[in-house]
Amino acid sequence: MAIATPLAWWLTSGRSAFRTAVQAVVALPLVLPPTVLGFYLLIMLGPRGFIGGTLEDMGLHHLAFSFEGILIGSVLYSMPFAVQPLEQAFSNLGRRPIEVAASLGAGAIDRFISVILPMTKSGFIVAMTLTFAHTMGEFGVVLMVGGNIPGVTHVLSTTIYGYTEGMQYAAAGRLSLMLLIFAFIVLFVVYWFNRGFEMIKP
Amino acid sequence: MTLSVRARITHPNFVFDVDVDWPADGVTVLFGRSGSGKTTLLRLIAGLERPNGAHVSFRHEIWMNDRHCVPLHRRRIAIVFQEASLLPHLSVRENLLYGYKRTPVAERRLHLDEVVRMLAIENLIERHISKLSGGERQRIALGRALLTSPRLLLMDEPLSALDTQSKRDILPYFERLVKEADVPIVYVTHAPAEVERLADRVVFLRDGRIDRIETLKNTLSRSDSPLFNDEGVVSVIEGQLGQKEYGLTSFHVGEDCFWLSTPIYSGSVGKSQRLRILAKDVGIALAIPENTSLMNILPVTVQCIDPAREGYVLLWLQLNGGQNLFSEITAWSRDRLDLRKGLVVYAMIKTAALAE
């Protein structure tokens, strides 16, 4: 959210070609198979990659097959789910309320807290819930970057995969049902709070 | 003590190029058609437009030049926009106090009680924003702006989104504000009636350039003023409201007295007001007409006769107090009555015409 909020604001406040390009990049994970994103991340974060290599040079460990790697992957992969509802909310808001607040003596941070945040509350709720839920359910990126090493880079979705592979249908079924119910509740709550609010559908 | 703006903005189909200054006091109206650049000029003053190379200064402060730009929230300007733009997540009271709370205590000149009284919004203050009419919202927006005790008040066509009735209801509050709040005002409009009732000076804009700046008095004393493009020539007469009689209100201009329909001019007795009379609503008689239903018949002296649109002439008439009254009559009537400069005649105005 810390990255998505300023990004969404910046995307809303202009229409240059560069902004459109960034917008497209942010939306890429919606279209690409997660394994593609995971593959590139693995290359970049791995010992011979640009980021991983730099880290190795600095005497740190590279990020492939680590918790940090999964975290970075998840942030990128879930970015559109945070950015798009916020962008929508910000552009619905328009510039006028902010101009009004500024003319009444409110500085930038004051304006964000006293006007933007309360007026785009629903956008933030949608963004946060969708991001959280989507991160819970992701698979491809985690598998590629994390490597599904038991006890180290294990998440719910890969665990289910593991159970199914090992023919443990009962355990896989229990976990799957939990995820299903959880996802349904989250979506229900989101839609309930935002009846009439435009948003992307996962 | 002036407000000065120098800027050049070039868009594919619009060039805005001004270098202008005017005294930072009274009411300055920016007048022009849509697309003439009047809102752009207002937004430059507010700092909402920041083109390269622009220069804006107010009194002795530089608000914008090549090196720095004072952000809007530090300029202590209040803005009233075309739509009221109340903050929908706040109550009426919170809206009113939003700017007040952010104004340093030492700088607060106006307080909630005064503003509420000035705008007569006592009964609105506890209501929900969605329950307010357009005119009421605009009054709250105006109150909210005043409560920041601004050094400059900008108004961007504040009445144009309202219906005629709401406009009539709210104009007296604007007039009162202009007289009581003692804040320099920059007012954008394309409605001549608002200019004539509120302005001290008028900045005429056309196609992104300044056409001319002149005092209201000067612009009203030339018959080719752009103010007259829509409705024809108008006279604006200053006088004091008097007593009511038969549902009409008297309006005193020197020794002369007009009778007005009351609802519109609902100010108190003895208050000075501007009266707006269309030249085509003024007729002429050589002698005092008797047995007529017309109430407003005043002796005037013909100062000058100019040709107007085809078949018509414009008479410059002087009232006893020295104020100017225009009358547009047919050229035929002029010849029939043999009107000449220096002649004393009687101007006849229908009461209804004085109600706008």
Task: Using an 8 Å CB-CB cutoff, list chain B residues near A102.
Answer: 71-73
**Least CB–CB distance from B73: residue in A96, A97, A102:** A102
The CATH number covering residue A172 comes to 1.10.3720.10
pTM reported for the whole predicted model: 0.75
- Yes or no: say if B348 and B294 are a contact pair by the CB < 8 Å rule: yes
Helix locations, B50-200, DSSP H: 72-75, 92-101, 112-119, 134-146, 164-180, 192-198
**Containing domain of residue A128, as a range?**
4-193
Q: What is the pLDDT of residues B158-217, one digit of tens each?
A: 888 787 777 777 777 777 777 777 788 999 988 888 888 888 899 998 888 888 888 888
Has residue A202 been placed in a domain?
Answer: no
SS (H, E, C) B3-54: EEEEEEEEECCEEEEEEEEEECCCEEEEECCCCCCHHHHHHHHHCCCCCCCC
Checking if the pLDDT of B34 tops 80, the result is yes
Domain B234-355 has CATH 2.40.50.100: yes
**Interface residue ranges in chain A relative to chain B, Cβ cutoff 8 Å:** 96-97, 99-107, 110-111, 114-115, 118-119
**Which value does ipTM take for this structure?**
0.72
Question: What residue of A is the nearest CA neighbor of B48?
Answer: A99
What is the distance, to the nearest Å, from the Cα of residue B296 to the centroid of all Cα atoms in its chain?
Answer: 25
State the pLDDT at residue B203: 92
The rounded distance, in Å, linking the Cα atoms of B36 and A172 is: 69
Residue span(s) of chain B under CATH 3.40.50.300 come to 2-228
Give the B window 152-171 contacts with A, CB below 8 Å: 154
Q: Which residue intervals of chain B bear CATH 2.40.50.100?
A: 234-355
Residue A154 has pLDDT above 70, yes or no: no
Q: Counting beta carbons within 10 angstroms of the beta carbon of residue B125, is it exposed (0 to 12), middle (13 to 18) or buried (19 or more)?
A: middle
Query: Do B46 and B204 touch, CB atoms closer than 8 A?
Result: no
- Contact assessment for residue B5 and residue B44, using Cβ atoms and an 8 Å cutoff: yes
Residue A150 pLDDT class (50, 70, 90 cuts): low
A97 contacts B85? CB cut-off 8 A? yes
Share of chain A above pLDDT 70, in %: 73
Reported as a single tens digit per residue, the pLDDT across B223-251 is 778 888 777 888 888 888 888 888 888 88
Q: What percentage of chain B exceeds 90 in pLDDT?
A: 6
Residue B267: predicted pLDDT: 56
Q: Which residues of A65-96 are buried (b: 16+ CB within 10 A; e: fewer)?
A: bbeebbebbbebbbbbbbbbbbbbbbeebeee
Report helix, strand or coil for A23.
Answer: helix
Q: Is B89 on the interface with A (CB under 8 A)?
A: yes
Does residue B148 carry a pLDDT above 50?
Answer: yes
Per-residue pLDDT tens over the stretch B299-350: 999 998 888 888 889 998 988 888 889 999 998 888 888 888 888 899 998 7
| Contact by Cβ (8 Å): B56, B64 | yes
A196 conformational bin, left if phi > 0, alpha if psi -120 to 50, beta if neither: left
Q: Tell me the chain A residues in contact with residue B108 when contact means C-beta distances shorter than 8 Å.
A: none
Phi, then psi, of B78 in degrees rounded to 5: -110, 145
Nearest to A106 among B73, B81, B145 (CB): B73
Report the pLDDT averaged over residues B44-65.
Answer: 87
The dihedral built from the CA positions of residue B254, B260, B262 and B265, taken in this order, carries a sign that is: negative
- Domain range B2-228, its CATH number among 3.40.50.720, 3.30.540.10, 3.30.565.10, 3.40.50.300: 3.40.50.300
